[in-house]
Amino acid sequence: MEEQEAITRLKRGDIGGLAALVRKYQVQAVQTAYLVTRDRALAEDIVQAAFLRAYERIGQFDARRPFGPWFLRSVVNDAVKAAARRERQVSLETGSEGEETSLADLLADPGPGPEDLVETEEIRQTVWAALGKLPPVQRAAIVLRYYLDLSEAEMADELACPPGTVKWRLHAAQKRLRTLLRPLWSAVSGPGHGE
Amino acid sequence: MKEQQVAQILQELAEQEVSASLDLWPAIQARLQPHRRVSQWTRFMPATRLGWASLGLILFLALGAAAYAVTPILSRVSQMEAGLQHIEQAKLGQELNLSQTVDGITVTLQWVYADANRLVVGFTVNGPKDLPDNHALSPARVTLTDAAGTAFPGSVGYGVTGQSDILKVSLPSGEGAYLFTFDAAPIEGEPAELDLQLVMEVETYVVPTPVPPTPGVYEDRGSLDPVVPVATAGPFTFDFSVPFIPGRTIEVQQTAEAAGVAVRLERVVVTPSETRAILCFVPPDGKSEQWLPNVTLSTAGGQTYVAGPVYYEEQVFTMDRSAITTVSRIGEGACYLYSVLTPLDDQSGEWTLMVTELVGFDLVRLGEQTRLAGPWVFHFVVE
């Protein structure tokens, strides 16, 4: 069933439309929520609740817009709230929004870096651990940017916040992630690694 | 690390934990049944604590002692909130069955209840038999006052008209059943009974046609056309007496300090319909209107109830009626009301109330929050 047809049916109260939307978006939604909450069971709960909420609010949804971004927005927001609730972090972040820094600048390492990175379980776990050290809202920025491949403008729309706020959150997240991953580069940049 | 590598690693981390064979549909389908979309029921709250909105679809509960004639619809409706369900099943309250007819519309005040936390009135509205199909009736400007003229602030309301999948009822056109609750805070002392007056009007309106949201506007800004009543009947005035249940008041009067902020738990009031705690604190910026506490209450029996700005939305969206909790600022001061709308009146022993966080909302930069981590812990005995 095409998405347009699924939404039309759902607006008429046909839960077959919801079933189609669930099957189309469930994996991506749970994976997204998992990357933010770091808890598989919690991620599934969040996505289930989001689908139920979408069912309740489908009457407000403009069928001319794609369903995915509208749906994933609520998933991401709920995941951030859930993660923050669990982690009880104090988000008293300050930072400047005026600095225009490209992603390449942030990710580039002044020293010899692993251009040909071998993807091993150890590397994945190191990245996973580093993500865990980010506040949920910054983690979500990383997930939206790199996992969902959204532009900053799309992220602003997804998070319903000003582009400047998105830029700053992403900047802060990238900066902190780079610091946390620096030991990884040092380890892989030893003899026989890197360039 | 290049962007593509970050993206690839995130993809692998996600796929490692959540496979493509995931199937949430059975679980969603199982949860869907009690959450069927209802177009003619809502739980609503007035825009202010001073009165009711002119339009509301609320649901009605009739309770009874042995002489009660509890209608099935009202019993079913009481299940939407644990506190109301409890007082219905415990057969508390007073059956009245007082009716008035004005301009062809009959309002019947069926049942009333009063305790130290809230007052409850249940009534039905029956319109003329020739009411057009696209017309509906709604109670409006509902006020409850005592013999001295003191008004009780409106709280939560429920109602049902037409067909409701959730409540499994189907009312004829022009009929509605309603339940209104009021804050009992103005009551002083422990009177044996209260002499009250309920006044309302009933508006007739044309059911609006849904308007699609404007393209480019966030989906939650889509709205119905404004509702304008085409007729107003009333006032309907009922004078009655109701027994008063004082419940248990624990004057805790404790202060705890964390993160440089002192929080004081003034008192806890436990009644059959609700448990309330009054908390007071002055936030770091002095702007009490922008702060709310996240609160957890644990009873001696091991139950835990949480409330706060990050919890309430979740409860509403998941429609969990078993333990609705709320937290809100009281008036214009620096005190807050934490409420548990589930019966705890059979609980005794040592309870613990913990403020886990104070959350400050930036009213200019919406979405920005300041969070102060506690905890502020209070132990007290409920006898």
User: What is the span of the domain harbouring residue B352?
Assistant: 248-382
One DSSP character per residue, B7-76 reads HHHHHHHHHHHS-TT---HHHHHHHHGGG---SSB--B--SSTTS--S---B------STT----HHHHH
Chain-chain contact of B317 with A165 (C-beta, under 8 angstroms): no
Chain centroid to Cα B154, Å, comes to: 11
Q: What is the helix, strand, coil percentage profile of chain B, to 5?
A: 15, 45, 40
Would you state the CATH architecture of domain A3-87? Orthogonal Bundle (1.10)
Are B97 and B229 part of one and the same domain? yes
Q: What is the pLDDT of residue B71?
A: 56
Mean pLDDT across A90-116 = 38
Using CA coordinates, name the residue in chain B closest to A51. Answer: B28
Distance to chain A for B358, nearest Cα, Å: 10
Q: What is the pLDDT of residue B209?
A: 60
Q: In angstroms, rounded to a whole number, what is the distance separating the alpha carbons of residues A133 and A175?
A: 12
Torsion-angle region of residue B349: left (phi > 0), alpha (psi -120 to 50) or beta? left
Pick the CATH number of A103-188 from 1.10.10.10, 3.40.50.2000, 3.30.420.40, 3.10.129.10: 1.10.10.10
Which of A189-193, B30-34, B331-335 is modeled with the greatest confidence?
B331-335
Are B165 and B221 part of one and the same domain? yes
CATH of the domain at B139: 2.60.40.1630
Residue type, A183: P
Is A103 an interface residue toward B (CB < 8 Å)? yes
Using CA coordinates, name the residue in chain B closest to A19. Answer: B25
Are B252 and B237 part of one and the same domain? no
Q: What is the pLDDT of residue B65?
A: 28
| B19 domain-assigned | no
User: Between B34 and B127, where is the model more confident?
Assistant: B127
Peptide bond just before B293 cis, omega within 30 deg: no
- Using the structure block, give the residue that is written with the tokens 């004005």: B102
| B1 domain-assigned | no
pLDDT for A53-77, tens place per residue? Answer: 888 888 777 777 788 888 888 898 8
Are B119 and B206 part of one and the same domain? yes
Chain A residues with CB under 8 Å of B10 CB are 35, 127, 142-143, 146-147
Distance to chain B for A10, nearest Cα, Å: 11
Eight-class DSSP state of A148: S
Chain A residues with CB under 8 Å of B260 CB are none
pTM of the predicted structure, to 2 decimals: 0.54
- Chain B interface, best mutation among A31, A118, A168, by max B CB count within 10 A: A31
pLDDT for B291-305, tens place per residue? Answer: 888 899 999 888 888
How many domains is chain B partitioned into structurally? 2
Q: What is the pLDDT of residue B363?
A: 57
Q: Domain map of chain A by residue range?
A: 3-87, 103-188
Collect all residues with Cβ–Cβ distance below 8 Å to B374 and sequence separation of at least 6.
Answer: B258, B259, B263, B354, B355, B356, B357, B358
Are B270 and B189 part of one and the same domain? no
> Which one of A52, A146, A165 has the shortest CB-CB distance to B31?
A52
* CB A38 within 8 Å of CB A132: yes
Residues forming a β-bridge with B122:
B111, B179
Q: In angstroms, rounded to a whole number, what is the distance separating the alpha carbons of residues B59 and B136?
A: 15
**Boundary of a domain, candidates B224, B243, B262:** B243
- Chain A interface, best mutation among B2, B8, B11, B18, by max A CB count within 10 A: B18
| B104 domain-assigned | yes
> 3-state DSSP call for residue A121?
helix
Is A182 an interface residue toward B (CB < 8 Å)? no
Which residues in chain A (134-153) have CB-CB distances under 8 A to chain B? 142-143, 146-147, 149
Q: What is the pLDDT of residue B364?
A: 59
Chain B residues with CB under 8 Å of A159 CB are 367
Answer yes or no: is pLDDT of B46 > 60: no
Q: What is the pLDDT of residue B320?
A: 46
DSSP element (H, E) containing B204: strand B193-206
Which of A166-175, B10-19, B316-325 is modeled with the greatest confidence?
B10-19
Answer yes or no: is pLDDT of A3 > 50: yes
**Boundary of a domain, candidates B197, B214, B243:** B243
Size of interface A-B (CB pairs under 8 A): 144
